[in-house]
Structure 1
Amino acid sequence: MNWESLRFDWTQLRAFLATAEEGSLSAAAKALGLTQPTLGRQVSALEERLGLALFERVGRGLMLTPSGRELLPHARAMGEAAARLTLAAAGQAQAIEGKIRITASDVFSVYHLPPVLERLREAAPRLEIEVVATNDLRDILRREADIAIRHVRSTEPDLIARKVGDGTAHFYASRTYVARMGRPQSRADLSHHDLIHFGDTDRLLERLRPLGIELGPENFRLGSENGLVAWEMARRGLGILIMADDVAVQTPGMERLLPEMEAVRFPVWLVTHRDLQSSARIRLVFDILADALGRG
């Protein structure tokens, strides 16, 4: 790959990076404030310059080719460098200080955000960061938070949403529960076990049915709106709970059940108000979150 040619046109590389992160030309154009034809020409120009196909169409979206995947980390590195350059210039008139509110679920706030906060403290020690740990969708439009981490995409036109990754989840139970109640050997076996819910039980049941799991309210006799409380119930051996895999591996004594079952997948989106992108501190926090969570 001719990496030397990339240094001549950051605009084309930025178009590639946005398209890779957003998954479609239309979403990338919206994120960059460009028209879709303009963005498409920039991506095509980069492909022509490199002599490589960087994307292939899958349904209504775009998927990176092997060449595109090879280019992506280099593009991200250049994007971070460009962001630092912009922030350095903006710092003459706009200090990286003040208060920022980040909202995420209680589980996400505990298990994912602390390492990112360390990076933020190093990058901008004068920032005041408040984490709003809630499973409610805080209203960015009303400025109840500056940046939200969500598992559903926001469609409001005044919001900027960037998908930074996908999480996976499985059924987990403590070793004490398995020793007492036995290990389910099939999805059907789950109907004979105690399960724990957090959030909307009806919505959970709807998500499980396409996976071939038929459960009813009688299986969910314990639960909480608070994910940390529900996880502690499971850790204490009170039942089986669906939990993100990267959370479960951090919790000793928890065992994954039905290992052959496909994962329950959920997206991770970063959301902020379009107007807030003019704030240097919001851009800094948004970009650091995107990079850290994307690598996680």
Structure 2
Amino acid sequence: MALNWSAIDFDWNQVRAFLATAEEGNLSGAARALGTTQPTIGRQVTALERALGVSLFERTGRGLVLTPSGADMLADVRAMGEAAARISLIAASRSEEVAGRVAISVSDMMAINIMPDILAVLSDNVPEIEVELIVTNDISDLLRREADIAIRHVSSPEPDLISRKINHGFARFYASESFVARHGAPTRMSEARDMPFIGFGAPQVMVDEMAKRGIALPPGSVKLYSGAIFAAWEMVRAGLGIGIMSDEVARRTDGIVPVLQEEPTLPVDMWLVTHRELRTSRRIRVVWDILVEELTRQARIGASP
């Protein structure tokens, strides 16, 4: 059966603006997600409401809430978004062009400590490739094209994603030289009962995660914390407490020494992940191969005595 094209009088940009606004909860978040401006998103949502003859959002004190009509549409619109992502993925996987954009998702610590050198290599070897560095401590959804390639500490179980293990490292407790000068260098947790710890997340979350790994943090010891890992590490570097960090990052940080060396170390793996379809794109293959080479080289340097 042929589609009734005359009944479809809205465009994809309007639908995309609606979906992003529904998922982000406000126009400014949608604008950031789509790389445009808040007024543009507002105009596109208004145009969609006008074309459909319904109101899609109600304004509240904290943002926008879907109307019943908007909520009824959301599942179908989300399916349209997923279909659009698949179309984009298929097209990207068939491309033999090297020039173009590649989005790489990394943690904030990797963005600061590891990626600058690698981005320099990419710029020197393939200047025609435009690299977007997506900095997040959450796992980007590659199936929904939030990134083309991700560098993670975990592999991916999804069958449509491929993973390659780059490195197997360790994390342990560190403190600044100034902290050790004031408080001493504890070798076991019983010697650190009265010392402050820096959390890379809410205190109880860190206590629970450490407990899973056989490390019992003293009750109430996590005095300062941040979900931004680089900010928490700066607290450690400033001498505000003891924190846990990968050896690879710690060796790049001046004025940091290991402490609590009788406590267990934590395994920290590094994985490179991409979509199986994107592995057939020449542009993705070029970036993937350089990442593999450079990350492996840096891992060897870090393992050298």
1:151 to partner: Cα distance:
0.8
Residue number in structure 1 paired with 2:126: 124
- The answer to whether the Cα contact below 8 Å between 2:203 and 2:225 also exists between their aligned partners in 1 is no
Please give the alpha-carbon distance, in whole angstroms, between the structure 1 residues aligned to 2:188 and 2:262.
9
Q: Of 229, 239, 256, which residue of structure 2 is paired with 1:227?
A: 229
1:207 to partner: Cα distance:
4.3
- The answer to whether the Cα contact below 8 Å between 2:166 and 2:272 also exists between their aligned partners in 1 is yes
1:200 to partner: Cα distance:
5.6
CA deviation map 1:194-223 (0-9, x unaligned): 100113654543443365431155111101
189-198 vs 104-113, greater mean Cα deviation: 189-198
Q: Of 142, 145, 159, which residue of structure 2 is paired with 1:143?
A: 145
Q: Of 265, 280, 292, which residue of structure 2 is paired with 1:290?
A: 292
Q: Of 195, 204, 207, which residue of structure 2 is paired with 1:205?
A: 207
Q: Of 158, 161, 165, which residue of structure 2 is paired with 1:159?
A: 161
Name the SS for the 2:112 alignment partner: helix
Residue number in structure 2 paired with 1:180: 182
- The answer to whether the Cα contact below 8 Å between 2:137 and 2:228 also exists between their aligned partners in 1 is yes
1:156 to partner: Cα distance:
0.9
Residue number in structure 2 paired with 1:64: none
- The answer to whether the Cα contact below 8 Å between 1:191 and 1:214 also exists between their aligned partners in 2 is no
Please give the alpha-carbon distance, in whole angstroms, between the structure 1 residues aligned to 2:201 and 2:288.
27
- The answer to whether the Cα contact below 8 Å between 2:202 and 2:225 also exists between their aligned partners in 1 is no
User: Alpha carbon RMSD of aligned pairs, Å?
Assistant: 1.9
Please give the alpha-carbon distance, in whole angstroms, between the structure 2 residues aligned to 1:203 and 1:281.
40
1:97 to partner: Cα distance:
0.9
Q: Of 264, 267, 271, which residue of structure 1 is paired with 2:266?
A: 264
Q: TM-score normalized by structure 1?
A: 0.64
- The answer to whether the Cα contact below 8 Å between 1:188 and 1:213 also exists between their aligned partners in 2 is no
Residue number in structure 2 paired with 1:190: 192
Please give the alpha-carbon distance, in whole angstroms, between the structure 1 residues aligned to 2:213 and 2:192.
13
Please give the alpha-carbon distance, in whole angstroms, between the structure 2 residues aligned to 1:161 and 1:212.
28
CA deviation map 1:8-67 (0-9, x unaligned): xxxxxxxxxxxxxxxxxxxxxxxxxxxxxxxxxxxxxxxxxxxxxxxxxxxxxxxxxxxx
- The answer to whether the Cα contact below 8 Å between 1:187 and 1:212 also exists between their aligned partners in 2 is no
Aligned-residue identity in percent: 44
184-193 vs 170-179, greater mean Cα deviation: 184-193
CA deviation map 1:212-258 (0-9, x unaligned): 43115511110101011001111111101101112112211111113
Please give the alpha-carbon distance, in whole angstroms, between the structure 2 residues aligned to 1:113 and 1:186.
34
1:166 to partner: Cα distance:
1.3
Please give the alpha-carbon distance, in whole angstroms, between the structure 2 residues aligned to 1:202 and 1:167.
25
Unaligned 5+ segments in structure 1 are 1-92
Q: TM-score normalized by structure 2?
A: 0.62
Alignment of 1:50-129 (within 5 A): 94-129=96-131
CA shift in 2, pair 1:163/1:200, >3 Å: farther
170-179 vs 203-212, greater mean Cα deviation: 203-212
- The answer to whether the Cα contact below 8 Å between 1:173 and 1:254 also exists between their aligned partners in 2 is yes
**Amino acid in the other structure paired with 1:183:** A
Name the SS for the 2:292 alignment partner: helix
Name the SS for the 2:207 alignment partner: helix
Aligned residues: 204
159-168 vs 194-203, greater mean Cα deviation: 194-203
